[in-house]
Structure formats: structure tokens, C-alpha cells
Amino acid sequence: MSDHRIGQGALITLELDHFIGGRWVKAKGAEYIDVISPATEELTGRVPVALPSEIDDAVAAAREAFEVGPWPRLSIGERVEYLRRLVAALESRREEVIRTQIDEMGAPYRFALENFDAISPSLERMIKDVETIPMREVRDGTVGKVLVLREPIGVTAGVTPWNSPVMVALSKLFPSLLMGCPIVLKPAPESPLSAYLIGEAVRAAGIPEGVVSIINGGVPEGAHLVGHAGVDHVTFTGSVNGGRAIAKVCGERLCRVTLELGGKSPAVILPGVDMTPYLPALVGGSLRNSGQICVSTNRVIVHERDRDTVVAQLVDYVSAMKVGDPHDEDTDFGPVASARQRQVVERFIASGVAQGARAVLGGGRPADQPRGWYVEPTIFVDVDPKMDIAQEEIFGPVLSVMTYQDESEAVAIANDSRFGLGGAVFAPDPELGIDIASRIVTGTCAVNGGPPSGGGAPFGGRKDSGLGYERDVEGLESFVELKSVTLPAGYVPAV
């Protein structure tokens, strides 16, 4: 499947195969993607780009697995056992999975570790949720009884981003397979190496052939996959522009689609809150993974009287955090994921300065990191809500502090965004925090340090942040179709 070579002191992984229909298949094309370490700027791996015919083969294998294979016809309990074996296979290679993600996209070790340790609990939570979904239920119709069936939707295409490659891929794979739907995954071209470890875990778990495929490529390959007539449902996590393009294709085909897109989430700090105990939650929610998280609360909205105090706390806290080698277990900020992404972040920082904001921390490249795509953690004050740094998703370690005079203005600033994915409120009283959270137009909101991203409840975005929901019962139900079976008068079926 792969060839490992030593290059300039580092191990380089050269992948030779595609994972099609649960089997390793020799790549036919001549084009490859070079995977560059964001920390060293050196080649860390290479993967083949899938030809259109190879994508067709993956969809055909999934189609056959759905139409005539055993997977949709297994009980949920049987599918659960396969998925638990898949998780066990990943856990047996824990450090390799973690380190591979660091090598390909630069996530700090602790972030990659936390994500890995969430894999098994995430699956177990899905198992509990699926047990509450009635796959057969009898309802009262207008005349007599009706049997309502929930059936697997069909073949899923899962397109994933680079910022948390394994966890996000599994957030597509787990619910799709649990609900009986074969899946074709396309990881981001920046982070394809860890997907090979998922493929090996699928093989180790003994999941039937055809049920899982993983294909590599960029925008053209993704477009071929999501536009394929053999795909019944697309689930995408990524940029707004990518989501719009996918939604257009799915709209033309009347194909089901779930989109989890960008964010520019607010963190509203109400007067009277001692932020000292909440600084880890505020900074973690804003700058974790170098700010490369879609729900990052990187718009901090604080009462004008409290601004200087909160800014001083933020500067002291972030200044004490370590920028360094992402493989080190005590590193807080690694590099951003690519040279292109650093250019994007630096353009936004420059625009903030040009438009009148003031950087009270950072704003440049770390002097002690001569190699790698590093950006200093940056905190801006004097930010007008209309500035680009307050309106556009930066996807980097940049935090903007804005002020307000009363609660209505705070809510207005929080809602002055085309995005609506995450949010946070810090209040002297939780009930007041809940009231403010209910007024913010967003899919999820954490009060007083509550877990981000919905905490396991339905997760989805409003406005430009997406369509549909992932996680919990609502996320699982996006992988099923409903069928109503009307019954003879007086007949009540078993369920």
C-alpha cells in the first residue's frame, strides 16, 4: 500500500493505492499530491489523485453494497459491533494517528490528542441516540393506522476539511454507517495521509466490501464525486464558497445535502463577570488549534467599561502560552496549515491595521520560528464591527475585541455577521446568559464556559454557516428517508 523513505532526516510516506470498496487498489493515474509539513516546510508524504474512473468505481462499489450487499440489511446492533472494532483498530495505533495529523496539518499535539480521545465517546453517544429512533412506528392516520418506516437514504459522499482530519471524517462515517448507508470519503488535499489509517482500520474491523471508499483529490475530484448520479446524500464540512457550489449541484440533482460551513462567532461578556475563571474557556474557544476551527469565538464583545481589564487579562494569558513545535506536548500554538493559509491570515492582520485597529499582542511572525508557517497569536482592539477582521472568517490565531454600551447593542454586534455557527456568553447569572444566547442568531451557543459546538446536541449553522444538522438524533436522521405504508382497515402491524 505504501512506501516509506527517509528524506532529509524525516520519514516520508509515499502512498501508492486508493481505498476503493474496502480494498487497496493500485492507483492508475500519474498525478500526485505532495503533503508538506507546516512545521518544517518539508515533504512529509505523497498520495495519488483519483481519476474520474476511479471515483466512479468507488461510487459503483457503494451502490452495489447498498442495493444488494448485507450492510443496509444488518441490524443496528450488528453495525455497531463493526464500528466498535474500527475504533479499537484506531486506538491500537493511537500515537501514529495523532502524529500523522500533526505532520500533515500542524495541529498542536494536545489538540490532536483531545480529538482522538473523543472518538470512542462520540461513537458511544451516537449508539445511544440511534436507539431512540424508531425505525418502524405505527401512527394514527386520517383513516386507520399507518406504518412509518425509516430507511437508509442510500450512498453518502463525505467531503471533509483539513483542520481536524480524522475526527471530522469519522463524524461523517459513523452516522452514515450506523444508519445503513455506504460512504465515499474525500479528505482535504492538505491532510490525506491520516485517511489511510482510517482505511486500514476499516479493513481490520472486517467491514464488508463496498461499504467504505476513500478517494483523494482537490476541487475537480470533489465536484465529480458530489455530482455523481450514484450519490444520494452529500455531507460537507468546509468553506462557504465550497458549500454554495455543492448546494447548487445537489439542488439541480434534488440530492439531499448537509453543509457545515464557516463561522465568525461572537463571545459576549456581560458587565459584572469576573473573567478570571473563564479565561481558559474564552481563549480556548477563540484560538484553539491556532484559530483554525469553524466555531472559534474570535469576536470578543465586551462592555466599554470593562474593555481594558478584559484585554489585559487576555494579553497576559495568551502571552504565557507557548508557540512552538506542534509535536511538543506543551505547545499551545503550532503553525497554520499551509503557506497559503498564512498569507490569508497575514492579509487580514494587515487590513486590520490599515482600517484603524490596534494590535496589542502579536501581529507578525514569531522570531524564534524561522521555519514553518507560523503566525503570532494576535489580539486587536479599537475594532469597528464593520472592519474586515470583524466580518470575515480568518481561520488563524487572530482575536478582535469590540465594545458596547448596553445589552441590545451587544446582541446587535453579535448578530452583525453573515455567519451563525457558534457563540458564547459570559454572564453574572446563567439565566441572563441563556436569555442573551437566545437572542443571538446562531446554531450553538455556550454559556459561562459550557462546551462548544453544541456539546453533543444538534450541531448546525444558520445564515451562511450551513444547512441541516449533525450529531444527536437530528444528525442521524439526515441519513434516513421516511416511507408511509397505509394499512387495511382494522389491521395493526407489529413494530
Catalytically active residues are: 260, 294
Q: What's the distance, Cα to Cα, between the start and end of the chain in Å?
A: 46
* Ramachandran assignment for 372, one of left (phi > 0), alpha (psi -120 to 50 degrees), beta (any other): left
Cβ-count burial of 441 within 10 angstroms (0-12 exposed, 13-18 middle, 19+ buried)?
A: middle
- Distance between CA 297 and CA 282 in Å, rounded? 8
259 three-state secondary structure: strand
* Ramachandran assignment for 119, one of left (phi > 0), alpha (psi -120 to 50 degrees), beta (any other): alpha
- Distance between CA 151 and CA 264 in Å, rounded? 36
Q: Select from 165, 378, 376, 384 the least CA-distant residue to 286.
A: 378
Q: What are phi and psi of 336, to 5 degrees?
A: -80, 170
CA contacts within 13 A on the Cβ side of 427: 17
Contacts 24+ apart (CB under 8 A), 451-459: 452/285, 452/295, 452/297, 452/422, 452/424, 453/295, 453/422, 456/125, 459/260
The residues, ordered by sequence, that sit 6+ positions from 481 with a Cβ below 8 Å of its Cβ are: 150, 151, 152, 153
Question: What is the secondary structure of 141-162 as a DSSP string?
Answer: -SSSEEEEEEEE---EEEE--S
Residue 99 CA to chain centroid, in angstroms?
19
**Integer CA distances (angstroms), 7 to 4, 14, 98, 227, 399, in order:** 10, 11, 21, 39, 38
- Distance between CA 106 and CA 92 in Å, rounded? 22
Cell representation of residue 421: 455557527
Cell representation of residue 68: 444488494
Cell representation of residue 409: 447593542
CA contacts within 13 A on the Cβ side of 16: 5
* Ramachandran assignment for 304, one of left (phi > 0), alpha (psi -120 to 50 degrees), beta (any other): alpha
Judge contact between 216 and 48, C-beta under 8 A.
yes
- Distance between CA 342 and CA 22 in Å, rounded? 36
